[in-house]
Amino acid sequence: MRSVIFAVLVGILGAAALHILIILAVPGFTGNDAYTRITELGEPQHFYPLDNDPVADGGLVNDDPGMRIAVCALSVAERPVRLYAPAGVPFWSIGLFDSTANEVFSMNDRTSVGGVLDVVVATPIQLNAIRKTLPADLSRSILVEMAGEDGYAVLRTFVPTATMDEAAYSFLSDAGCEAIEDETE
């Protein structure tokens, strides 16, 4: 009898260890995390507006009928990436996340310059180069440092009525997520 209790106790200890191991290991193995799902949408460095209707294959959807969302997978491994969008919707917000879905930076139209989205994402080294020369076309941009190389950006806009759907759609399709062409050396 004692040995049965001992075996059960050993089993419970092992279960606790396995539980911790699984919880810690899951983020690396799901293949269903936000970054992977966004990279499956297509080429990186491009904003993809998300569908509002459920997709059969279980892809990313926007389930909130009051919002429209576009996502962009980006990499700053070679060049800084500039996120921009014009003003003209009642509300927008941008969230920048690294490839493990940790928030790097977020802002909304109230905290922007003139309601225009203009953010430059770069590695610390690239940022140094930008700060040294400060090209004129980046003088009003918000500079964001990203420690990792890969990440994704989520651009949201508020669509209170169906009539504003078109404005929201053109806002999201005008939004850019592109590598800066002539990088300052």
Q: What are the C-alpha distances in Å from 122 to residues 84, 106, 183?
A: 14, 15, 11
Using the rule CB under 8 A, is 72 a contact of other proteins? no
Residue 23 CB contacts under 8 Å (≥ 6 apart), including other chains: none
**Closest distance of CB 185 from other proteins, Å:** 32
Question: 70-81 in b/e burial notation, b at 16+ Cβ within 10 A?
Answer: bbbbbbbeebbb
Using the rule CB under 8 A, is 8 a contact of other proteins? yes
Per DSSP, the three-state class of 179 is: strand
Using the rule CB under 8 A, is 142 a contact of other proteins? no
Looking up tokens 């009003």 gives 140
Chain centroid to Cα 15, Å, comes to 35
Q: Which of residues 76-135 bind other proteins (CB under 8 A)?
A: 90-91, 93-97, 100-103, 105-108, 110-111
> Identity (one letter) of the amino acid at 64?
D
Nearer to other proteins, 100 or 133 (CB): 100
Using the rule CB under 8 A, is 37 a contact of other proteins? yes
Q: Which helix (H) or strand (E) holds 5?
A: helix 2-29
Using the rule CB under 8 A, is 15 a contact of other proteins? yes
The residues of the shown chain that bind other proteins, judged by CB under 8 A, are 3-4, 6-8, 10-12, 14-19, 21-24, 26-28, 30, 32-34, 36-37, 53-54, 60-61, 63-67, 69, 71, 90-91, 93-97, 100-103, 105-108, 110-111, 154, 156, 158, 160-161
